[in-house]
Amino acid sequence: MKRILIIDDVRDRAAWLKASLELAEFDVVGILAWEQVDERSIQAASADVIIVDANAPGRDTLEQISLMSTTLEKPVVVLGAQKDQQSIQEAMRAGVSAYVSHTVQGEDLSGIIHVAAARFLEHKRLRDELKEAKSQLVERKLVDRAKGILMEDHGYSEPEAYKRMRNMAMSKGKRLAEIAEAIIFAKELSA
């Protein structure tokens, strides 16, 4: 069950939203007014999805909180910006935030929240994969450079240089890239 935090200064609107979300079997973990929004209150709510009003000036406050802390990065569903279904879908294709009309009923909302949460996770996964791919590339470059040093300084063949590095990594319990880095540092020291 998705845990939802509502941030809205309009109390009765928030209460109505809470009621319709609960009808759709969501767990509404809290309603915050914008002046209560800070790192601590967002952390404490530990929600899966945050719902806010599109026209709330405080949205920028939330941007800073989620950008400065990766653990507080949450999908944000933004209510009240769009009127028709098509533009809602376009908006959702465009970004992490989902734009939903205030007049959307509870049932529609549940679908939208699921989509928003899923899209957000997908986006995060892609970003993590990219980060991973980049660090792998860096590691490969280090290993190649270290291999070159061993080949040049000790006359090893390429497979031999690689084997020696790998054996060292295994016996020391280090990652291959760390061994490679050590070789490069040693070379720089003697250069």
Positions that interact with other proteins (CB under 8 A) = 38, 54-68, 78, 81-82, 87, 90-91, 94-97, 99, 123, 127, 131, 134
Q: Enter the DSSP assignment of 25.
A: T
Lookup: tokens for 50: 């945050």
User: Smaller CB distance to other proteins: residue 137 or 170?
Assistant: 137
Look-up: residue for tokens 């967002």?
A: 42
Minimum distance of other proteins from residue 62's CB (angstroms): 8
Minimum distance of other proteins from residue 153's CB (angstroms): 30
User: Smaller CB distance to other proteins: residue 35 or 188?
Assistant: 35
Contact 45, 31 (CB under 8 A): no
Amino acid code (one letter) for 107: E
Minimum distance of other proteins from residue 175's CB (angstroms): 20
User: How do 3-7 and 98-100 pair as beta strands?
Assistant: unpaired
User: Smaller CB distance to other proteins: residue 78 or 176?
Assistant: 78
User: Smaller CB distance to other proteins: residue 19 or 67?
Assistant: 67
Q: What is the sign of the dihedral through the CA atoms of 143, 149, 152 and 156?
A: negative
User: Smaller CB distance to other proteins: residue 78 or 161?
Assistant: 78
Lookup: tokens for 113: 């929240």
Minimum distance of other proteins from residue 187's CB (angstroms): 23
3-state secondary structure of 5: strand
Minimum distance of other proteins from residue 87's CB (angstroms): 7
Residues 6+ apart with CB under 8 A from 126: none
